[in-house]
Amino acid sequence: MADSMNENACPLCAVENLSFEAPNCSLCGVQFKQNVKYFTALEGDAKYFFCTACYNKTEGESITVGGLHIYKARLKKTKSNEENLESWVQCDKCNCWQHQICALFNSKRNEEEKAEYICPKCYVQEIEIGQRMPLQESAILGAKDLRRTRLSDFIEGRLFRRLKQEREERAKSMGRNFNEVPGVEDLVLRVVLSSDKKLQVKQNFLDVFKEENYPKEFPYRSKVILLFQKIEGVEVCLFGMYVQEFGSECAHPNQRSIYISYLDSVKFFRPDIRTATGEALRTFVYHEILVGYLDYCKKRGFSRCFIWSCPPSKADDYIFYCHPEIQKTLKPEYLREWYHAMLRKAANEKIVVNVTTIYEHFFVPHGECKVTATRLPYFDGDYFSRAAEDMLKNLVEEDGVKPRRKQKKPKSRRSLECTDFSGTSVTDILLMQELGKSICKTKENFIMVNLESEHMALDTEDKDEIIESKIFDSRETLLRFCETNHYQFDTLRRAKYSSMMLLYHLHNPSA
């Protein structure tokens, strides 16, 4: 692809035109092909894209996406290749043109087009002849300059200790000294979102269980944890996870529960080697972050953790927008084993008490525990909260009436005949059967982790301060922001630039 003889090529990468990932329709998710026409609109910091099919089938004057109403009159018609090329920047000294991404040029600082840009070649020459002093590392705010929290210090400190132990074990297994084997350098872990939210229970669910005094909402704290590593002098965001923490003040069934809602990484971690036990060193690091998080939560008084082990579908992203082509998506059974390997490590340290599945704990009768949907955890974006609402809607439509309460089970549901449903509504029984049937083949993917100990903290008070972030407020917001600004992670050069820009926005939230 590179063409060093092309006089129009970027001198830093030897390529002329580089295309970004084509956007996806904000409604149906289809990715636009080359030269395909679509509609777009800028709303706040995010761009929205609509294919012609979604545009034509949407009635009225506006299109609704994510609760936002976008008037059709504001939509601009364009082609998928017109806005899709990387931008350039010209050196103010030698007049040479380079890709902004190659040059790590922050265009947000240059909106008035008055910022000086000196290319790397001219910059080095000026330093060599004494015209310019090298830029101090402290002059640019990076990951280390982000606010530290008790949580980030706990996980980061633990991670560094474990990495030192791992390096010692690796050196010993190879018959070498500590300094003779490569170590992991320049890691920074930070919490970039710690925001109080309220999860509203969906209406159909409330209607069914109103006589059970089921809560109308669940308060929780949403957090985002990121790991950065300096690679070739530039900080790159490698790992991220979204978690939901439902504390001791939250009502059942969510009380003292944590939900690891999304976890993602990009395969640029250095060094790309294996530990003394044979696992990838990056896996060791990511496992330690999770074990450290579970340890911290257990110390705070949380008793349960829930994980939905579900790999993204093809061309889908969880946290990072666009992944490297060399990075394969784990198959469900391998991802599940990845989590279980982490949980075994946590169990060896007495952090995890035992591991089961949501199906085994909530759908299979145990003693006097009632099999009912009111005992299921209710999390934001989780499978069960969404599936239950859809199933209840269908059940109501089938009956043509509001959900009914009866003190007997339906005779037609043979698969649940051995289960004691006394005191349970017909709709509740049908819902639990439908939910159980829907996850029966994948029930091992819904992991429940018991952290409870004899000496649990009286409450789960979080002593860390609130950290708000407009960009990281939700993974959907983050992905749309990155798609709008072409902050991709599919190559190392783009991951460097995208990480630099995310750090810029974290340090300058009003930019």
The model's pLDDT over 152-183, given as tens digits with 9 standing for 90+, comes to 999 999 999 999 999 999 999 999 999 999 99
Q: Which of 396, 411, 443 is the last residue of a domain?
A: 443
Most distant pair of Cα atoms in the chain: their distance: 90
Answer whether residue 398 shows pLDDT above 90: no
Say whether both 289 and 393 belong to one domain. Answer: no
Which domain covers residue 373, as residue numbers? 365-443
Q: How open is the CA angle 155-160-166, to the nearest 5 degrees? A: 120
User: What is d(CA 247, CA 379) in angstroms, rounded to the nearest whole number?
Assistant: 13
Answer whether residue 404 shows pLDDT above 70: no
Say whether both 332 and 432 belong to one domain. Answer: no
Say whether both 433 and 325 belong to one domain. Answer: no
Question: Which pair of structure tokens corresponds to residue 293?
Answer: 């998080």
Say whether both 422 and 452 belong to one domain. Answer: no
Taking each helix axis from N to C terminus, what angle separates 383-399 and 426-439, rounded to the nearest 10 degrees? 130
Number of domains in the chain: 2
**Cβ atoms of 366 and 181 closer than 8 Å:** no
Indicate the range of 195-199, 333-337, 401-405 predicted with least confidence: 401-405
Confidence of residue 421 (pLDDT cuts 50, 70, 90): very low
Taking each helix axis from N to C terminus, what angle separates 150-174 and 281-300, rounded to the nearest 10 degrees? 140
Residue 260 lies in a domain: yes
Nearest to 293 by CA among 183, 196, 149, 454: 149
Say whether both 427 and 495 belong to one domain. Answer: no
Residue 10 lies in a domain: no
Residue 64 lies in a domain: no
Which one-letter amino acid corresponds to residue 96? C
Residue 73 lies in a domain: no
Residue 100 lies in a domain: no
Question: Which pair of structure tokens corresponds to residue 423?
Answer: 């005191």
Say whether both 397 and 300 belong to one domain. Answer: no
Q: What is the structure's pLDDT at 400?
A: 57
Residue range 388-412: mean pLDDT, rounded: 65
Residue 131 lies in a domain: no
Residue 499 lies in a domain: yes
Say whether both 387 and 413 belong to one domain. Answer: yes
Say whether both 243 and 332 belong to one domain. Answer: yes
CB atoms within 10 A of CB 501: 20
Question: Which pair of structure tokens corresponds to residue 143?
Answer: 């990951």
Say whether both 423 and 495 belong to one domain. Answer: no
CA 321 to chain centre: 10
How does pLDDT run across 352-382, given as a tens digit for each residue? 999 999 999 999 988 778 899 999 999 999 9
**Cβ atoms of 40 and 48 closer than 8 Å:** yes
User: What is d(CA 150, CA 209) in angstroms, rounded to the nearest whole number?
Assistant: 39
Say whether both 359 and 483 belong to one domain. Answer: yes
Say whether both 233 and 328 belong to one domain. Answer: yes
Q: Which of 443, 464, 497 is the last residue of a domain?
A: 443
Nearest to 451 by CA among 364, 351, 377: 351
Residue 74 lies in a domain: no
Say whether both 354 and 439 belong to one domain. Answer: no
Residue range 434-452: mean pLDDT, rounded: 97
How does pLDDT run across 102-145, given as a tens digit for each residue? 999 998 887 777 788 999 999 999 999 999 999 887 788 999 99
Q: What is the structure's pLDDT at 109?
A: 84
Q: What is the structure's pLDDT at 205?
A: 96
Q: How open is the CA angle 50-55-58, to the nearest 5 degrees? A: 125
How does pLDDT run across 71-114, given as a tens digit for each residue? 988 899 887 766 689 999 999 999 999 999 999 999 888 777 77
Q: Which of 426, 443, 460 is the last residue of a domain?
A: 443
